Amino acid sequence: MSNLLELKNVSKVYQRGLINSKANVALRDISLTLREDEPTILTVAGESGSGKTTLAMLLLGFITPTTGEIIYRGQNITTLHGKDRLAYRREVQAVFQDPFAVFNPFYTVDHLLTVPIKRFKLASTKAEARNRMEEALSAVGLRPEDILGRFPHQLSGGQRQRINVARALLLKPRLLIADEPVSMVDASLRANILETLRNLQRDHGVSIIYITHDLTTAYHIAKSIIVLYRGGVMEAGDVDAVIKDPQHPYTKLLVDSIPWPNLDQRWGETPIIAREDGGPDGGCPFRTRCPNAMDICTTRPPLYQTSPMQAAACYLHDKKPEIVAQRLTELLPV
Ligand code: ADP
Ligand code: MG
């Protein structure tokens, strides 16, 4: 059984200036695997500054890891050339937070959709290109006749974000990286877009990495979840298990702050815990704020498997079996 995507001990360190170069570890030792034969939706959740967008940029090949490797269908993405690189560019697509950002206000929506068709030579005639566009728009629940020929300002935020999804879908991707795709969309349309993403996974076999600061939407869309704090995995597992019975003090804190079960309410807009607040470099990054902190927490905790489909990086579970980071995703349901 082959893997679609593998992250092997990936870290990303940003240098803050040349002279007084203080390293900022945006991601620390992240390993995860998505299987090729089983499309899934994996949530990566964390507050602002936890490294989510850095992860998205790495997966898209926009930045390179400081250490570790990202393997796409058996090949390190930094060494991809020619046809393989083009295939990767087509097969891994993104939808970002701002539904307006990719639109040029002077062009109709058609333009946004035609560019990828041309670039990746997805159609040989105008009629075929039009068919492709209509297909993709219909797949995200839009009526092509309502959309084509319009300018961006004539569309709602929700429509625009679904067009972004349609644009990604045009390329028949295998993997979609959705970085906070609904956080700038009206609450009333949020569930709708999440449903669209779920259909992509179910009906079109697209794996999705759904990145969010919002556990409520994660709960509604994903099978499994990885919770990040300051670039490190605090907890991971089946989304139901993690949210209903969190094992890491940090996840507990997050879950307690969710206004259940209302999807329309927002969670985590303002960080509960300020990122800059006494960040220990070694040890558990959460220890300075942790109600359960112990002496041993100055040493970074490994992941412990707390139940069949759940693991937490916390010494509260040190009687449980350790699990090496590379094997973490084996616990996750697909
Ligand atoms: P999130 O998307 O979870 O809010 P980011 O990945 O954007 O988190 O940021 C993680 C950390 O990396 C933050 O501390 C942020 O300030 C830092 N960071 C992100 N991008 C850069 C960059 N280009 N240069 C330096 N630091 C960065
Ligand atoms: Mg971000």
Does residue 26 fall inside a structural domain? Answer: no
Predicted confidence at residue 103, as pLDDT, reads 83
Does residue 136 fall inside a structural domain? Answer: no
288 lines ligand 1 (CB under 6 A): no
Does residue 298 fall inside a structural domain? Answer: yes
Predicted confidence at residue 19, as pLDDT, reads 64
97 lines ligand 1 (CB under 6 A): no
Does residue 333 fall inside a structural domain? Answer: yes
Residue in 25, 53, 213, 270 to alter for ligand 1 test, most ligand atoms within 8 A of Cβ: 53
329 lines ligand 1 (CB under 6 A): no
For the whole model, what pTM was predicted?
Answer: 0.90
Does residue 265 fall inside a structural domain? Answer: yes
Does residue 49 fall inside a structural domain? Answer: no
Does residue 124 fall inside a structural domain? Answer: no
Residue 240 Cα to ligand 2 middle (Å)? 24
Predicted confidence at residue 333, as pLDDT, reads 85
Predicted confidence at residue 269, as pLDDT, reads 47
Does residue 171 fall inside a structural domain? Answer: no
Q: For the chain, 334 residues long, give each residue's pLDDT as a single digit of tens.
A: 689 999 999 999 998 766 666 778 999 999 999 999 999 999 999 999 999 999 999 999 999 999 999 999 999 999 999 999 999 999 999 999 887 777 888 999 999 999 999 999 999 999 999 999 999 999 888 999 999 999 999 998 889 989 999 999 999 999 999 999 998 888 888 888 899 899 999 999 999 999 999 999 999 999 999 999 999 999 999 999 999 999 999 999 999 887 655 544 455 444 444 444 444 567 999 999 999 999 999 999 999 999 999 999 999 999 999 998 888 888 888 7
Predicted confidence at residue 1, as pLDDT, reads 64
Residue 158 Cα to ligand 1 middle (Å)? 27
- Give the CA count within 13 Å in the CB-facing half-sphere of 94: 19
Bond into 261 cis (ω within 30): yes
Nearest-atom index, ligand 1, CA of 16: 25
Residue 49 Cα to ligand 1 middle (Å)? 6
Residue 214 Cα to ligand 2 middle (Å)? 12
Residue 79 Cα to ligand 2 middle (Å)? 26
Residue in 10, 12, 15, 24 to alter for ligand 1 test, most ligand atoms within 8 A of Cβ: 24
CA dihedral 72→73→78→80, nearest 10 degrees, is -140
Nearest-atom index, ligand 1, CA of 57: 6
CB 193 within 8 A of CB 165: yes
Angle between helices 157-170 and 109-119 (to 10 degrees): 20
54 lines ligand 1 (CB under 6 A): yes
Which residues are within 8 A (CB) of 187 and not within 5 positions of it... i.e. 6 or more apart?
263, 264, 265, 266
Write the residue with the smallest CA distance to atom 7 of ligand 1: 53
Predicted confidence at residue 20, as pLDDT, reads 60
Predicted confidence at residue 277, as pLDDT, reads 40
Residue 179 Cα to ligand 2 middle (Å)? 7
Closest CA to 311 of 248, 250, 252: 248
Host domain of residue 299: 246-334
Domain count, the chain: 1
